[in-house]
Amino acid sequence: MTESETGRDTAGVGALEPLAERSLAVGLFNHVWELLELPDRTAMQDDAMVHAAHASRWHWGQVGSPQHWAVGEWQCSRVYAVLGRGDESLHHARRCLALTEEFPMDDFVAASAHEALARAYAVNGDIDAAIAERNAAYGLAVELEDDDDRGVIEGDLGTLPI
């Protein structure tokens, strides 16, 4: 995968120090979670959530590892799924999975990629594909050694709209 395919800035646009860039990536990622957890978001908050998810992913593309990129793609997919925008959700879920297949990373992230695909397919109304991806995610989750990681995946799978 080339740098431009991963999201790295190959034009040298990034003028931030790596620690500042990393801090922005983390802060934006966490801000997206705060917005996702709001019971009633406004349209402006929905837009802010989309922009923050993409900005976080972009900053991770500057200073993070492939695992950071994949998690950023996963978060973008989740945001779009929550907003009912299945095509965009599916795009980012596929990017997440592609990164897990190309680069070595935690099995937790691969399970998350399949969870994201299941959610995106469900939002798009493709229940058969959603079930297949849910089963793939669950198959990976039961193999996770960390109980907390397994619980996160199983919890997410329990919220799938299928």
* pLDDT reported for residue 4: 43
Is residue 129 included in any domain, yes or no? yes
Residue 112 burial (CB count, 10 A): 29
Domain residues for 23? 16-64
111 and 139 fall within a common domain: yes
Whole-angstrom CA distances from 130 to 30, 47, 123, 154, 158 are 27, 26, 9, 15, 13
pLDDT-derived band of residue 64, with 50, 70 and 90 as boundaries?
Answer: very high
150 and 96 fall within a common domain: yes
Is residue 69 included in any domain, yes or no? no
Is residue 77 included in any domain, yes or no? no
104 and 55 fall within a common domain: no
Backbone angles phi, psi at 12, to 5 degrees: 75, 25
pLDDT above 60 for 160? yes
* pLDDT reported for residue 7: 53
The answer for residues whose C-beta is within 8 angstroms of residue 115's C-beta and 6 or more apart is 133, 134, 137, 153, 156, 157, 160
How confident is the model over 66-112, as pLDDT tens digits? 999 999 999 999 999 999 999 999 999 999 999 999 999 999 999 99
pTM: predicted TM-score of the whole model, two decimal places: 0.91
120 and 157 fall within a common domain: yes
154 and 109 fall within a common domain: yes
* pLDDT reported for residue 67: 98
For the chain, how many structural domains are there in total? 2
pLDDT-derived band of residue 5, with 50, 70 and 90 as boundaries?
Answer: low
Is residue 120 included in any domain, yes or no? yes
How confident is the model over 132-156, as pLDDT tens digits? 999 999 999 999 999 999 999 999 9
* pLDDT reported for residue 51: 98
The answer for residues whose C-beta is within 8 angstroms of residue 22's C-beta and 6 or more apart is 59, 63, 64
pLDDT-derived band of residue 1, with 50, 70 and 90 as boundaries?
Answer: very low
60 and 89 fall within a common domain: no
